[in-house]
Amino acid sequence: MRVILVAAVFAVVGVALGLLSPVTVPITYARYTAVALLAGLDSIFGAFKAYIAGTFEPRVFVSGLVTNMALAGGLTYVGDKLGVDLSIAAIVAFGVRIFNNLASIRRHYL
């Protein structure tokens, strides 16, 4: 339970720092940033689900986080070069996974 509390505190601090930061993302990189954030959220919720199930491994989490973000950014980049919006595929895939992980977490606590 202590790990969850620490993670929640750092998540709140991170969101607050992000909202208060004067840094803006150029519009040309907005899609890359959005897709990478979605991939990161997918990894975080998957890690939380694994933690609840007792199967969490830091190596798997870090490698999944980096791989998912790189793949999402890569799909978006290739799609931009081809003139096709491939970021939609990443958004749908990661969105479905996030909702599935949240459903599993909710079922665990209910």
Give the pLDDT confidence of 27-75 residue by residue, as tens digits: 888 889 899 989 988 998 898 899 888 898 889 988 988 999 998 989 8
Task: Report the pLDDT value the prediction gives residue 16, as an integer from 0 to 100.
Answer: 92
Is the residue at 57 inside a domain? yes
Phi, psi (rounded to 5 degrees) for 84: -120, 140
Residue 75: half-sphere exposure toward Cβ, Cα within 13 Å: 21
Residues 6+ apart with CB under 8 A from 72: 35, 36, 38, 39, 87, 90, 94
Task: Report the pLDDT value the prediction gives residue 1, as an integer from 0 to 100.
Answer: 60
Domain that holds residue 72: 26-109
Is the residue at 20 inside a domain? no
Task: Report the pLDDT value the prediction gives residue 99, as an integer from 0 to 100.
Answer: 94
pLDDT, the chain, mean: 88
Is the residue at 5 inside a domain? no
End-to-end CA distance of the chain: 16
Phi, psi (rounded to 5 degrees) for 83: 80, 20
Is the residue at 21 inside a domain? no
Percent with pLDDT over 90 in the chain: 32
Count of domains forming the chain? 1
Is the residue at 3 inside a domain? no
**CB of 63 closer than 8 Å to CB of 71:** no
Report pTM.
0.79
How far is residue 78 CA from its own chain's centroid?
A: 20
